Amino acid sequence: MSDVAEDRQLSGKEQPRLNPLFMFRWEESQNAHVLLYPEGVVKLNGSASTIIGRCDGVKSIDQIAAELKAEFVTDDADIESGVRQFMEVAHAKGWLVV
Amino acid sequence: MPKDGSSFSLDGQGKPLWLALELTYRCPLKCVWCNNPLDFETYTKHELSTEEWKKVLRESRELGSLQLGFTGGEPMMRDDLEELVGYANELGFYTNLITSGIGLSEQRLLKLKEAGLKQIQLSVQSSRGALTDELVGAKAHEIKIEVAHMIKRHGFPMVLNVPVFKQNVELVEEILALAEEIGVDYLEFANIQYYNWALLNREELLPSLEQLQAAEAAVQRARVRLGKKMTIYFVIPDYFEDRPKACMNGWGAIHLTIAPDGMALPCQESRVIKGLEFVSVRDKPLKWIWEESPLFRKYRGEEWMKEPCRTCPEKEKDFGGCRCQAFLLTGDASNTDPCCSKSPHHHVIEEALKQKDAPFRVQRPLVKRMPGVASVQFME
Ligand SMILES: C[S@@+](CC[C@H](N)C(=O)[O-])C[C@H]1O[C@@H](n2cnc3c(N)ncnc32)[C@H](O)[C@@H]1O
Ligand code: SF4
Ligand code: SF4
């Protein structure tokens, strides 16, 4: 199995949202957020679910990064690159669409 | 359903993440590769009731099941399908309907959507009506294609399941085009697994390696052309590989199937293995069956393995292959799957492949899945 993902860099202006084929929710038995979709289940770690939960197709990647920075009261410049990197991976995997 | 294409990013942690309910073995079609039991008609009078299925759903959800497939037979044959989908949805399952499309009217589709159905897997066999109709033993092709368009119209994610065999392997290109036209999200070329009706018809169904390679190349071209528009799964059948498939991700690891009569199975084929003690959800709590029953423990993990698997570095990758295939082709389910080239029984696979091309081979008719066609009385 190998699906050909259109891997590419995303700009901070892009507005990602959850792939409409996917379902994102809290799952008690895993004590985590999960993504459910045809043929698959993915368990998300805390930061992944915090980011995915904000991808509403309206907010841009830059906005989401700024929000997280404010919320977690950190000056960590890594947050921005971290968010961007995660979005690119999630986009390549087809979890997010822009 | 043994599916190499599925991706599991969750390790099971001992939970039956994937639940398949075989609601009934009744079906209006007569597919010659059907993996339902040869005596499928004897199950009808023992089918679980609506309330019994609901109990299964509750119990399995408590064990941590997340993905749910309603299958069969033809699940549309059950009038309570909508009710069960609704109930499962409330419990938090991601609900899939696995159907031939026969009996799926627009009215029922709307009710299923209302009930919270998330996804539909439709089986389609070819791009040519006359061929499909011959292979499934009914005028079904046109209905299937109409149903496919209808499913997309109502916005469901759709998996198109195409079982692959000699009679359709050269149509892969056409089938890809058909799937693209319908707007399928996931296209799964399921190289058929040789159990039950498929095993009975094996000699007439096995494609050649060249045909499979050409099909795979067509798939690869389509992947490049279509990119993310459609995800395409294509797995060369294990008969043609040196290694077995990681069947069910291991016995009793993440998959649980409930047969129409309530028997809990590690996989839907496992009843072909003689001498196992199957337990019905009518008689015991599902939790006990999954965690404690001798059946589910029998081939769980690695303890049961014999050589060459026991000391093989690849055992964590394929778990020694498929227990059902080991039983059917070597007589002992704890043997290495004969598809593995390290198996001392590997010659049975090589012989099956040779046999189908043997000169002067007697060609046989395909046997359609119908009640009473095959007597299993004398099978030990
Ligand atoms: C047994 S059917 C039941 C659902 C429905 N009647 C149908 O055919 O779609 C479930 C799935 O298994 C596939 N299937 C049937 N026989 C098979 C076999 N021998 N090997 C692999 N897949 C098989 C079908 O194409 C279908 O997608
Ligand atoms: S594979 Fe064919 S015969 Fe078997 S249950 Fe599905 S539609 Fe019916
Ligand atoms: S010997 Fe057993 S574990 Fe090793 S590759 Fe073959 S089937 Fe897998």
A82 vs B279 pLDDT, higher one: B279
Q: Does the Cβ of B36 fall within 6 Å of ligand 2? A: yes
DSSP B171-185: GHHHHHHHHHHHT-S
pLDDT at B229: 87
pLDDT, tens digit (0-9, with 9 covering 90-100), for A39-67:
789 999 888 899 999 999 999 999 998 88
pLDDT, tens digit (0-9, with 9 covering 90-100), for A61-96:
999 988 888 887 666 677 788 888 888 889 888 899
Lowest mean pLDDT among A11-20, B277-286, B356-365: B356-365
Q: Within an 8 Å CB–CB cutoff, is residue B161 touching chain A?
A: no
SS3 A16: coil
DSSP B44-87: GGGPPPHHHHHHHHHHHHHTT--EEEEEES-GGG-TTHHHHHHH
pLDDT at B162: 97
Give B297's DSSP letter. Answer: H
Instruction: For chain A, list residues whose CB is within 8 angstroms of any CB belonging to chain B.
Output: 1-6, 21, 23, 25, 27, 29-30, 34, 36-43, 94
Average pLDDT over residues B288-316: 92
Considering the entire predicted model, what is its pTM?
A: 0.90
B359 vs B240 pLDDT, higher one: B240
Per-residue pLDDT for B7 more than 80? no
Tokens, residue B198: 């498929």
Instruction: Report the first-to-last Cα separation within chain B, whole angstroms.
Output: 25
Lowest mean pLDDT among B208-212, B314-318, B339-343, B376-380: B376-380
> Whose CA is closest to atom 8 on ligand 3?
B320
Q: Phi and psi (nearest 5°) for B119?
A: -155, 150
Q: Does the Cβ of B369 fall within 6 Å of ligand 2? A: yes
Per-residue pLDDT for B358 more than 80? no
CA distance B124 to B230: 16
Which chain B residue lies closest to A92 (C-alpha atoms)? Answer: B228
Q: Please count the residues of chain A.
A: 98
pLDDT at B37: 93
Asked if residue B4 lies in contact with residue B235, where contact means CB atoms within 8 angstroms, the answer is yes
Please answer yes or no on whether A40 and B9 come within 8 Å at the CB atom. yes
Give the residues across from B68 on adjacent strands.
Answer: B19, B95
pLDDT at B13: 67
Give the residues across from A24 on adjacent strands.
Answer: A35
Q: How confident is the model at residue B356 (pLDDT cuts 50, 70, 90)?
A: confident
Give B195's DSSP letter. Answer: S
CA distance B232 to B185: 9
| Domains, chain A, with CATH or none | 17-97 (1.10.10.1150)
DSSP A62-76: HHHHHHHHHHTT---
Please answer yes or no on whether B66 and A21 come within 8 Å at the CB atom. no
Asked if residue B202 lies in contact with residue B352, where contact means CB atoms within 8 angstroms, the answer is yes
pLDDT at B97: 98
pLDDT at B222: 95
Q: How confident is the model at residue A5 (pLDDT cuts 50, 70, 90)?
A: very low
Q: Within an 8 Å CB–CB cutoff, is residue B10 touching chain A?
A: yes
CA distance B177 to B129: 15
Start-end of H helices in chain A: 46-52, 61-71, 78-92
Q: Does the Cβ of B345 fall within 6 Å of ligand 3? A: no
pLDDT at A58: 93
**In this prediction, what percent of chain B has a pLDDT beyond 90?**
78
CA distance B5 to B236: 11
Instruction: Tell how far the Cα of B149 is from the centroid of ligand 1, in angstroms.
Output: 20
ipTM entry? 0.79
Q: How confident is the model at residue B232 (pLDDT cuts 50, 70, 90)?
A: very high
Per-residue pLDDT for B159 more than 50? yes
Asked if residue B219 lies in contact with residue B234, where contact means CB atoms within 8 angstroms, the answer is yes
Place of tokens 């029953």: B293
pLDDT, tens digit (0-9, with 9 covering 90-100), for B235-263:
888 888 889 988 888 999 899 999 999 99
**In this prediction, what percent of chain B has a pLDDT beyond 70?**
96
pLDDT, tens digit (0-9, with 9 covering 90-100), for B180-215:
999 999 999 998 988 899 999 999 999 998 999 999
Q: Which atom of ligand 2 is nearest to the CA of B163?
A: 1
Residues 6+ apart with CB under 8 A from B353: B206, B239, B240
Angle at B310 between CA B308 and CA B313, to 5 degrees: 85
